[in-house]
Structure 1
Amino acid sequence: MKLLKAMMMGVLSIALLNAPVSGFSFDSGIQTVEASTQAKAMYAKRQVSAYKSRSSTSGSVMTIPYGVRIDRLATQSSWSQVRYKGKIGWVASRDLVEIKKTEVLDTKKVVTLYASRSTKAKAVTKVPSNKQVTRLATNKSWSQVKYGGKTGWVASSSLKLRYTKETFALKKYRVKEVAPLQSSYSTSSDVIATLPDFGVVESVERYNNWYKVTFDKKTGWVEAKYLTTYKKESVKEAMFRIYGDSYEIFKSDYGVTARKVDDIVSVEFDYKNQSAILDIYHMDEKNPQKDEYLKAAKVITLFNGGDPNTLADKMFYMDTEGYEWEDDIVYDKYKISFSSWGNIHVDWAYDWN
C-alpha cells in the first residue's frame, strides 16, 4: 500500500512539473503574475490601436475609435487588456477613462449606517447631520453609502442629493436652440462661445444637469435643457428643415440643391466632391442677402463641424469684398474661394491649415 501511494505521488509530481502554470508569463527570464481585475466598462479618450501584447511593436489587433464603450479585462503596469467587438488586445492605460456614476449626498440629520438593510442589523457607524456621503448602490428604500472609509446602509429618505457626476461612452446631442457654452457648470460662469440652434455636439461627461461638450475647438459646459437626443439626418432632410417650403429642394447628379427662383438663389451641396457652390444674386446691393450664407453654413457645419456663424461671415465677406484681392479664405477645415463665374465655392475635402 505504501509502495502504491509513493508511485502515485511520483506520477502526480511529474505531471505538475510538466503542466503549464496558469496566470503566469515569462519576460526576459523573470516570472511575473498577470494583474487581473474584474471587467470594467471604459471608453477611449482618443482613437487608439490595440496590440497583441504589451508593446506597440507587437502588431496591431484592432483600432478602437474615440468614445466607444469597451471592457477592460486586466491591467499590468501601464497597460490594459481590453475587449471590443469580440476582439482582445492591449492598450496604454492612460488612454482609457472608466465609465462610472458618482452620487454625493448630504445627510439631513444624524444617521446610523447599518451592516445590512435593516435597523436591527449591526450598526457600522454614525454620520452627523449635513455631512457628505457617497452612494454606492440602492435597494428599494435603502442606500448603500461610504463615509470616512466605512460602508453601510441607510434609509434613502434621510439623504438629499448634492451632485451627480457621470462619465459615459460618447453620446451625440442636437442643440434645440441657441445656447451659451460656459466655462463651468454654473449660469454665473463665463460664456466662452455660443452654440447654434440645430448644431450637433458630443459629450462623455455630465455634472447634474450640465454636459461637457466641445464646439469649434472650445470645451465648456451646456445645460441639459438646451439639448435633445441626436437623430441622424440625411443632407436632403437637413436642407428641407433649414431652408423651408419657399425653396425647391432636389437631388442632382452630384448632391442636393436648394433653389429659390424669385430671388435667384441656388446652393448646390456636392457631397461626392466634398464642396458646396453658392450662386446668390443680391437683389438689393445695399442690403445683400446675408441670411442665405447662414442657411448654407448651417447645412455644411452640421455634417462637418465648425461654427456656422463664422463660416457664413467669411463666405459673405468673400462675396461682397474679399473677391477683389483674396485668392481664398481658410477657416478651420474649410477653404472659401470666388470663381470667375461669380460663384462662391466652399471646400472641406482637405485640411487647409
Structure 2
Amino acid sequence: MILTILFFPSSEFLPKKINNYVEASIYLESMYVNIKTEAYTSRSTKSKRVMVIPEGVPVDRIEKKTSWSLVRYNGKTGWVPSRNLVAITKIEVLDTKQTVTMYASRSTKGKVITKIPINKQVSRLEVNKSWSNVQYGSKKGWVATSKLNLRYTKETFAPRQYKLKETASLQSTYTSSGKKIISIPKGSIVKSAEKYNQWFKVTYNNKTGWIQAKYLQSYKSPLKVAQSIYGSNYIITSHNGDLMITDEILHTVALFDDGLIIEYGTREEYNKAAKLITTLHGGSSSELSEYMWSALWGYSYTYGKYRISPSSSSYETVVVFW
C-alpha cells in the first residue's frame, strides 16, 4: 500500500500508521468512516448486511482487496467500500541537531546501521524512554531523542467537535501570517479531523481553513449525549441548544447552558441526569447523583464546579448549576 505524504519536503520520508499492530497474524490499521456505511458478509452489496457503521466512528481495517476493506467495529466484522474509509495517522518529522548514530537496538552497544548528518530530517515511528525509533531514507533504527529537534507533527483522526472560547480568525494556512478567510464568533461549534502542530483544520459556513488550538475546547453535543444516555424510552426535544427530556409519566429533565432541573425523578433518573451533566462538564456521575438525590430543602451543596439545591420543600425538583 502506497501512502501519500502531505507537507513533506522530500518524498524519502514515509508516514507511520498509528495503532497498527499484529493480532493473530492479522494486520490492523486504524481508520474512520467518512459517511454512514453498511458492512456486508462479502465484497458485494448483494450479500447479507452485517451492520451499519455511523459516520465518523473509528474502525480497524483488517484486510483490503481491490476496492473493498474488511473492518472491525463493536466486535463485528464486515466488508465496506474502501472509499468510505480515512486513515488515522500521526507523522512526526524531526531535525538532527548534530551527526547522529542510528543503532539496531536502544543501546550504544547495538549494531550501527548508519550515521545521519546534522540538519537532516527523520520520521519518528516510536518513542521508548530516551530513544526514538526513526526512519531516514530507507533505513530504520534507534537514535538518542536528545539529539533531535521536532520540526512538525501532522495528525489525522476521527472527526471531533470543538467550541470556540473566543472569536478567532480562520486562516488559509497553519500560520498566523496566513490569509484571513473569515472570523468565527465565540461559542461557535466547528468540526476537525486534521491537526498540524497546534493548528486544527476546520470548516465553518462552508469555508475551510486553519485555527489555532488555543481558541478551541472539546465539545460534545448535548443532544447526542442525551440520546445515548436516555435511549428511545424518552422524548428529547431541543430548542436553541436547550433540551427537554420527558418520559410517559412526565418525569422531566431540562438542560440549559448553565444548569439542569430534574422533576419527579426516580433514583435511576437522577443517575441518568448526573451522567448527562458529568459527560458534558466533567466530574464523577455517581458522586453528583448522590448529592442530587440526598439534597435537603433549605440547603445548598457544592461538588466541584456544581451547586446543588432542591427548589421546593416537597423534594420533587432539584436544580444543579455550574
Q: TM-score range by the shorter chain?
A: 0.5 to 0.7
* Aligned partner of 2:126 among 137, 150, 154: 137
DSSP 3-state at the match of 1:118: coil
| Shift in alpha-carbon separation, 1:255–1:174, aligned structure 2, 3 A | closer
Task: Write the distance in 2 (CA, Å) between the matches of 1:153 and 1:91.
Answer: 37
- After the TM superposition, which residues 141-220 of structure 1 pair with which residues of structure 2 at under 5 Å, given as runs? 141-220=130-209
Which residue identity is paired with 2:118? Answer: S
| Shift in alpha-carbon separation, 1:255–1:98, aligned structure 2, 3 A | closer
- The residue that corresponds to 1:58 in the other structure is 47
Unmatched 5+ stretches in structure 1: 1-35, 235-253, 258-267, 273-353
| Runs of 4+ displaced beyond 3 Å | 231-234, 254-257, 268-272
- The residue that corresponds to 1:95 in the other structure is 84
Asked whether the 8 Å contact 1:67–1:204 carries over to 2, the reply is no
DSSP 3-state at the match of 1:55: coil
- The structure whose residues are more often helix, as a share, is 1
* Aligned partner of 1:68 among 54, 57, 64: 57
After TM superposition, give the deviation of residue 206 of structure 1 in Å: 0.6
Give the count of matched residue pairs.
Answer: 208
**Cα displacement string for residues 120-165 of structure 1 (whole angstroms, at most 9, x for unaligned residues):** 1110001111000000001110001000100111100000000001
DSSP 3-state at the match of 1:134: strand
After TM superposition, give the deviation of residue 270 of structure 1 in Å: 10
After TM superposition, give the deviation of residue 60 of structure 1 in Å: 2.9
Task: Write the distance in 2 (CA, Å) between the matches of 1:184 and 1:119.
Answer: 41
DSSP 3-state at the match of 1:186: coil
**Cα displacement string for residues 290-344 of structure 1 (whole angstroms, at most 9, x for unaligned residues):** xxxxxxxxxxxxxxxxxxxxxxxxxxxxxxxxxxxxxxxxxxxxxxxxxxxxxxx
Task: Write the distance in 1 (CA, Å) between the matches of 2:187 and 2:31.
Answer: 29
TM-score (norm 2): 0.60
After TM superposition, give the deviation of residue 59 of structure 1 in Å: 3.8
Which residue identity is paired with 1:103? Answer: E
Task: Write the distance in 2 (CA, Å) between the matches of 1:41 and 1:97.
Answer: 9
Further displaced range: 47-56 or 109-118: 47-56
* Aligned partner of 1:43 among 32, 40, 61: 32
DSSP 3-state at the match of 2:214: helix
Asked whether the 8 Å contact 1:48–1:63 carries over to 2, the reply is yes
Asked whether the 8 Å contact 1:174–1:199 carries over to 2, the reply is yes
Task: Write the distance in 2 (CA, Å) between the matches of 1:141 and 1:75.
Answer: 36
DSSP 3-state at the match of 1:109: coil
Task: Write the distance in 2 (CA, Å) between the matches of 1:256 and 1:112.
Answer: 62
Asked whether the 8 Å contact 1:37–1:75 carries over to 2, the reply is no
Asked whether the 8 Å contact 1:44–1:67 carries over to 2, the reply is yes
- After the TM superposition, which residues 71-90 of structure 1 pair with which residues of structure 2 at under 5 Å, given as runs? 71-90=60-79
DSSP 3-state at the match of 1:94: helix
Task: Write the distance in 2 (CA, Å) between the matches of 1:126 and 1:98.
Answer: 32
DSSP 3-state at the match of 1:157: helix
Task: Write the distance in 2 (CA, Å) between the matches of 1:213 and 1:78.
Answer: 29
Task: Provide the aligned C-alpha RMSD in A.
Answer: 2.4
Task: Write the distance in 1 (CA, Å) between the matches of 2:185 and 2:90.
Answer: 29
* Aligned partner of 1:104 among 90, 93, 98: 93
After TM superposition, give the deviation of residue 64 of structure 1 in Å: 1.8
| Shift in alpha-carbon separation, 1:116–1:90, aligned structure 2, 3 A | same
DSSP 3-state at the match of 1:225: helix
Which residue identity is paired with 1:142? Answer: W
- The residue that corresponds to 1:127 in the other structure is 116
DSSP 3-state at the match of 2:47: coil
DSSP 3-state at the match of 1:184: coil
